[in-house]
Amino acid sequence: MSVLADLATPIVMGILLGGLYAVIALGLSLIFGVVKEINIAHGDLVILGSYFGYVAMSVVGIDPILSLIVGIPLLFGIGFGIQKYLLNRAFKISMDATLIIAFGISIILQNIFQLIWTPMCRGLTTSYALESFSAGPISVPLVYLLDFIVAIIVMLFLREFLRRTYLGMAIRAAAQDWRAAHLMGINTNQVFALTFGIATALAAIAGIFLGLTFPFTPVSGMSFLIIALGVVVLGGLGSIAGTFIGGIAFGLAQTLGGHFFGLAAQMLVAYTMVLVVLAVIPRGIFGR
């Protein structure tokens, strides 16, 4: 009985953490499903969101979640620009070229962060970031619950957007068969750029909540990218529900890994799971 109670906290925390991982992975999943690119720079774009929140908090004094009002359009614009001017061109050259260019963007971002904000750990420490709430015998940090709620909101939003708006349907068409979509009069280059913009806007949201949950450094992007890749591959390309389940799976892997093998090993467990997932199910649970 006590074993079960012991496990309850890591399990609950793992599920809630999974919400955060799902939001982080959502942008990546969108790009992968629609544009068929693996955006290696996605992790760093998320951290860009985190640093934006940091600037909003420390320089301007606004609550990071409020700063999203500016953050979302800003990162949307950046993502749109990246796809439109860099990656659309790379696409025509080769698949390898897009990978290498995304890698280059990742390096540039990481070192800009390092230049401006130094390698020191930063965090979005608002007043509520340190509170926890209890339900019965379990006590979890409040931000974990926020992460989970935000994940659900964002996913519902995205699903409705993709289903009901013209752009959403254009995106889904381009994802299914971009040549056919092109023939149907959809400007696929524009759609790809808009998709990347949306994905980066999602990264902005993810970044803020990541910053509230964990401390981050200029190189944190890579760690979260790897987990996001695992989530995307596990959940299946372009499936929102799959990404959610994948996120929870990785959240649980991390917290339970930490519970059984010690805190130092928790990322190791998560990364090993990524490798296993990549080797065993490249198509994912819900994938096409």
Nearer to other proteins, 145 or 267 (CB): 267
101 in Cβ contact with 90 (< 8 Å): yes
**CA–CA separation, 207 vs 15, rounded Å?**
19
State the minimum distance, in angstroms, from the CB of residue 29 to other proteins: 14
**Nearest to 162, CA basis, from 96, 68, 243, 275:** 243
Q: From the CB of residue 26, how many other CB atoms can be counted at a distance below 10 Å?
A: 28
Q: Which is nearer to other proteins, 103 or 260 (CB)?
A: 103
Closest CA to 146 of 212, 221, 199: 212
Minimum CB separation of residue 156 from other proteins in Å reads 29
Shortest Å distance, C-beta 138 to other proteins: 28
The token duo for 211 is 């910053």
CB of 224 to other proteins, least distance (A): 12
Smallest distance from other proteins to CB 153, Å:
29
> Measured between alpha carbons, how far is 229 from 231 in angstroms, rounded to an integer?
5
The residue among 96 and 179 lying less far from other proteins, judged by its C-beta, is: 96
Q: How far apart are CA 256 and CA 237, in angstroms?
A: 26
- Minimum distance between the CB of residue 37 and other proteins, rounded to whole angstroms? 8
Instruction: Name the residue nearer to other proteins (CB basis): 133 or 260.
Output: 260
3-state SS, residue 197: helix
Minimum CB distance to other proteins smaller for 72 or for 90: 90
Closer Cβ to other proteins, 56 or 90, answer by number: 90
Tokens of 284: 């994912």
Least spacing, CB of residue 286 vs other proteins, in Å:
17
219 CB burial (10 A radius; 0-12, 13-18, 19+): middle
Interface residues with other proteins (CB under 8 A) are 38, 40, 86, 89-90, 93-97, 99-101, 103-108, 110-112, 114-115, 222-223, 226, 229, 233, 264-265, 267-268, 271-272, 274-276, 278-280, 282
Give 67 or 239: the residue with its C-beta nearer to other proteins: 239
Q: Rounded CA gap, 114 and 104, in Å?
A: 15
Residue among 111, 110, 103 at smallest CA distance from 86: 103
